[in-house]
Chains A and B, each alone.
Chain A
Amino acid sequence: MPDRFAPGDAVRTSTADPAWHTRLPRYARGAIGRVVELAGHHPLADDRARGLPGTTQAVYHVRFTAADLFGDGDHAVTVELWEDYLEPADPQGGTP
């Protein structure tokens, strides 16, 4: 499968609150950020934590503004996220 996102793409993170281990930090749920770069391809951590084989997929550095994550602050936070956690975001819907 080709990578779904490329650097510069605006993405929205999942709002799901799974019962299992996930690597989408709670503070970055449901937030709009921008893909900085590809960080390789790895089995989805959520699958491996449940003893599943884990589908290998793209992992990206995604940059968020503190204002988008927390409602205030002037810094940025870059989180490393599996493709499963991300949906395309309407570029007009936010300005990360």
Chain B
Amino acid sequence: MSGDHHGSSAISEQVRHVEALLEARGLVDEGELDRRIDEFLAGGSPANGARIAARAWVDPAFRDRLLADANAAIRELGLSMSGGLQEQRLKVVANTADEHNVVVCTLCSCYPIALLGPSPSWYKSEAYRSRVVRDPRGVLEEFGLELPPTTRISVWDASAESRYMVVPRRPEGTDGLSEEELAGLVTRKGLIGTAAV
């Protein structure tokens, strides 16, 4: 398993070679893979995840629907997980005073691109992927997140077909903010679970 997702030229050459073969054999049109990838990434941004989290903060019924069936709930906001070849299942988990959730893909780097955009490099690093399942409290402290000892930590390993997103806890003192202003507070790390908001 390669832990290096940072522009290994050997991998890039292999990818170009496979792409050329697919095109030469007429399996894909010239440039089709680039277009598909562009389409897949288009619109993918942490702003989408932030909108979902803010709606969950202001609308408890939406929060319940989101935690029960995230794919259906995000369609209410005009969002979907069907940017790729098929719709991916989305599982959303919400942080509380008692439980903190954090997401990882230990086997590769599965990530909800439609809702969070391309993943940060640390998410793909071997260090994060191997250590956060073993010692999440220690890893979160390295991110600057110190949780009370009474807060349980749940790690979610995206080992199959689902993608995961965390709804962070709503910060205190934000009662007067609009939904849009609340969304502006939500960070990518908050939606992965490596930071509070």
Contacts and interface: CB of A to CB of B under 8 A. Distances in A.
B69 to A, nearest CB: 11
A78 B102 CA distance: 10
A27 B160 contact: no
A42 interface: yes
A77 interface: yes
Contacts of B189: none
Chain B contact patch, size range: 20 to 34
Nearest to A37: B91
Nearest to B136: A75
A41 to B, nearest CB: 9
Interface in B138-170: 152-162
Given A23-B107, A39-B91, A75 B161 contact: no
Contacts of B106: 25, 27
A78 B161 contact: no
Contacts, number: 66
Interface string A38-80: 0110100100000000000001010100100110011111111
Contact of B134 (A23, A63, A73, A74): A73
Interface residues of A, number: 25
B181 to A, nearest CB: 32
Contacts of B107: 23, 25
Given A78-B157, A81-B159, A61 B134 contact: no
B42 to A, nearest CB: 25
A40 B133 contact: no
Q: Which of A25, A70, A81 has the most CB of B within 10 A?
A: A25
A94 B158 CA distance: 24
B162 A75 contact: no
B159 A75 contact: no
A78 B156 contact: yes
Interface in B92-121: 106-107
Interface in B50-98: 89, 91
A82 interface: yes
Contacts of A39: 89, 91, 160-162
Contacts of B133: 27, 69, 77
Contacts of B159: 23-25, 79-81
13 contacts: A25-B106, A25-B159, A27-B133, A39-B91, A66-B134, A73-B134, A74-B152, A75-B155, A77-B154, A78-B155, A80-B162, A81-B160, A82-B160
Interface of A: 23-25, 27-28, 39-40, 42, 45, 59, 61, 63, 66, 69-70, 73-82
